[in-house]
Amino acid sequence: MDSTASTPQTPATPTVPLDVTDQQNSALLEDTLNLLNAGAPDQASEKGLTEIDRWAEVLRASERPGLAKIIQELNTLREQLSSSDAEAHDIAETLATLGAETSKVADETSDGYSAPLAQLGKLLIKLGSTLSR
């Protein structure tokens, strides 16, 4: 058998689920709210892209159903922000979808995350409508 088979030695995503504590979730939510409350950046920053990556990892590790759409939209947003020819309208649409999906999750959440998630959803929608003008 050929040892140069196309199977990578390291998996693209970790096979061991990420263990995220409530404290880490709260910190991530707070960081993101602070970042978005500062207003829309005029260009993709490394900090913003890092936040997107952090959210994608946390959501992938979550056992919650219904997060696939949010993960998909986060990946779309990352691609758009990393692209030099992304249209503001497209980014605005992605942010609005993320906001709506986040609001849905907030409505279905019964723990202490409901209020901050609802705030995040509103901020994403507001940011999206600001960009679409």
Give mean pLDDT, residues 106-123.
Answer: 87
> Is the pLDDT score of 120 beyond 60?
yes
How far is it, in rounded angstroms, from Cα 25 to Cα 73?
Answer: 19
CB 101 within 8 A of CB 73: yes
Write down the pLDDT at residue 39: 67
Write down the pLDDT at residue 98: 94
Residues 50-94: pLDDT tens digits? 888 988 888 888 877 778 899 999 999 999 988 888 898 999 999
pTM score, whole prediction: 0.75
How far is it, in rounded angstroms, from Cα 117 to Cα 46?
Answer: 23
Rounded to the nearest 10 degrees, the angle between the axes of helix 46-61 and helix 68-82 is 160
3-class DSSP state of 19: coil
Query: Side chain identity at 110, as an amino acid letter?
Result: S
Q: Which two tokens stand for residue 128?
A: 């999206």
Q: Which two tokens stand for residue 121?
A: 């959803």
Write down the pLDDT at residue 6: 46
